[in-house]
Chains A and B, each alone.
Chain A
Amino acid sequence: MAIEKKNFSRRDFIKHTSMFAGGVVFVSLMNPMKVVYATKKPEGKGKWYGIAIDIEKCIGCANCARTCKIENDVHKEPFFFRNWVEQYTITNDDEILVSSPNGGIDGFEQPVPEEDIYKTFFVPKMCNHCAKSPCTQVCPVGASFESPEGVALVDQTYCIGCGYCVQACPYGCRYIDPEKGVVDKCTLCYHRLKDGLDPACMMACPTHARIYGDLNDKESEVSLFIKEHNCAVLKQQLNTVPKLYYNALSQEVH
């Protein structure tokens, strides 16, 4: 068995490599352009939860954020939120100022004098429960998953705390629980939904700016709201297909 490296080593290398690459291409062709999303919308009559927030009705009281912290035992420190409120102020000089002191829980201040304000409004934020959620896509162990009703959830007994989903969420809705070492996020109060109760934030809103319900049911309150109002979602270009719809959403909001 002679080893004739000198004569054909490069050719041999290219041959082996292209065989390997060809194999990879072949395998990927077997399943062309399959999108690697974690969940699918249920067929049939299953519920498919969506949320609508009417920015015109939000008064920035942050009752939603406050109630959420109590209901879900979220850490009181101002670094952990399942739910928060942002204040946008656009000045007459087109400057955009955004603030969310302690998620809005401590109340808002308006540093810009009234005559300099072009417009100002509040935007409540929470998990968008995306239909093509990037957070569940990237979870290496499948601890982040979507319920059959389209609610993005985390199995905290299984989460390894790698934080990849925190990076993958474009909306900043996830955080690592400093005590448990696992990820935490809005569950749309899944524990309450299961008992036929409304999510805490929905109940706490004094102006009924927040609505949720079954998007599959075209007569549900949320479906009718989306039908009757000119709603938009956040960061539509990322194709995460959020199921959190905002009425009167300004383009400045990211």
Chain B
Amino acid sequence: MDKFETLYEALANLDGFIYPNEIALNWDLLIVMYPYITGLVAGAFILASLNRVFDIKALRPTYEISLLTALAFMLVATMPLISHLGQPFRFYEMLITPHLTSAMAIFGFVYLWYLMVVLLLEIWFDYRYDMVIWSGEKKGFMRFVYRALTLWVLDTSPESRKTDEKIGYFITVVGIPSAFLLHGYVGFIFGSIKANPWWSTVMMPVIFLFSAMVSGIALVMFIYMAVNYLRRQKTDIFCLDTIAKYLFYILIIDFTLESLDQIHRIYEADESFDILKLLVRGKLFFTFFIMQIGIGTIIPLSVLGFLQFKKPRERIRKILYLIVSICVLVGIFYMRWNVVIGGQLFSKSFYGFTSYKVDLIGGIDVWLSVLWFVIPFFILAFLLWLLPPWKKAEELPHE
């Protein structure tokens, strides 16, 4: 009985009718974290690419931080998914015997492509010269570590640096569609489920992509400020202004796309509309209207919009940017929540609802989710210690 206690509670609190097998909520908080973390990776990477490919110089101070943030989160991106499996130790089956008609089966390959080919290579080419220099400065074990990280390519000639730069640039160019692929693909996992009208929309990959950019940019903005605060360094306000500008633009696109999706649903009002209307107005009211739209979208849009026209003092702007980045991060989390949990709260019979209670004390999924969100920050701290962007050599002058 104990094991099923929450299910009996859910059974006692049903609204209307749901299929008996739907009482157990199949995808819990961990599956909310999965698109959230993946989105942060894709977004952070795209911010780095803005600097490199589109040559937006104001973003230079965040270039390495963006890449390392993307890597730190990428390393744990699959963990929520794996730890959610009923048979976690069989996860490798997805890689060795992928069933190619499944949208989920390709995730492992998209992930590996992105991690190995894009992120690691780009970081390696970006840091290779510096790692050679650092290996010369360090002694003992750390000397060996940096040597090993260079893969014993110890050439420090200007030509080799130019080659690094050129290949790095090419990888970034490949990386942008890859980042689009990574997160658009995660959206497709949900958007292609025709059984679920809340998910099944062709807009889903696009919405996921833009919300990913929004969250990744906000995260880098936050981390950039936090790192400078911890290092007692001055934050480059021009850089922050530029990040905020892009955050503002992409947030507008994101909000427009999501609104379009909702307006389309409301106007078409197909057979699922009645139940979805009740869902949004009832069970999702707080997470959708207050958290996702209010805190996650309206407040940041208003603040950032205001800052495009009026520039208050630097200190005030920094505080506003800090608040905005946190608001956006919270808002996008709730966007994922509304998709993943919201999509399971109503019955596919369209006659009722179940409920999902996050059991903060007993819920293993909650602890695991927190764990998978906190670990990347430790990884990032380690990466920043190992590969400090502020100790990198001067860039080669562009010819």
Contacts and interface: CB of A to CB of B under 8 A. Distances in A.
Interface of A: 1-6, 9-10, 12-13, 16-17, 20-21, 36-38, 77-81, 84, 86, 96-100, 102-103, 125, 134, 137-142, 158-164, 166-178, 180-183, 238, 254
Nearest to A98: B17
Interface residues of B, number: 64
Interface string B86-117: 11001101100111111111010000000000
Contacts of A4: 399
B176 A13 contact: yes
Contacts of B162: 1, 3
B348 interface: yes
A170 B104 CA distance: 18
B113 to A, nearest CB: 13
Contacts of B16: 98
Contacts of B85: 160-162, 181
25 contacts: A6-B398, A16-B174, A37-B101, A80-B20, A84-B20, A100-B19, A134-B195, A138-B101, A138-B192, A138-B193, A142-B97, A142-B99, A158-B93, A160-B87, A160-B94, A161-B85, A169-B195, A170-B194, A171-B19, A175-B21, A180-B86, A183-B86, A238-B194, A254-B348, A254-B351
A21 B103 CA distance: 19
Contacts, number: 178
A212 to B, nearest CB: 21
B368 interface: no
Contacts of A10: 54
A160 B193 contact: no
A215 B170 CA distance: 57
B349 A254 contact: yes
B15 to A, nearest CB: 12
Given A160-B86, A163-B26, A100 B173 contact: no
A141 B193 contact: no
A103 B343 CA distance: 23
Residue in B7, B16, B21 with the greatest tally of chain A CB atoms within 10 Å = B21
A158 B11 CA distance: 31
A70 B24 CA distance: 21
A96 B127 CA distance: 66
Contacts of A102: 20
Contacts of A180: 86
A159 B99 CA distance: 12
Contact of B349 (A98, A139, A158, A164): A98
Given A79-B21, A138-B103, A167-B343, 18 more contacts: A1-B159, A1-B166, A5-B398, A12-B173, A16-B170, A17-B173, A17-B177, A79-B20, A80-B20, A81-B20, A100-B17, A138-B193, A160-B93, A161-B90, A167-B26, A176-B86, A181-B87, A238-B194
- Could you say which of B53, B159, B170 has the most chain A C-beta atoms within 10 Å of its C-beta? B53
B391 interface: no
Contacts of A172: 18-22, 347-349
A86 B348 CA distance: 14
Which of B170, B349, B350, B399: most chain A CB closer than 10 A? B349
A3 B166 contact: yes
A9 B54 contact: yes
B74 to A, nearest CB: 20
Nearest to B190: A167
Nearest to B7: A79
Contacts of A2: 399
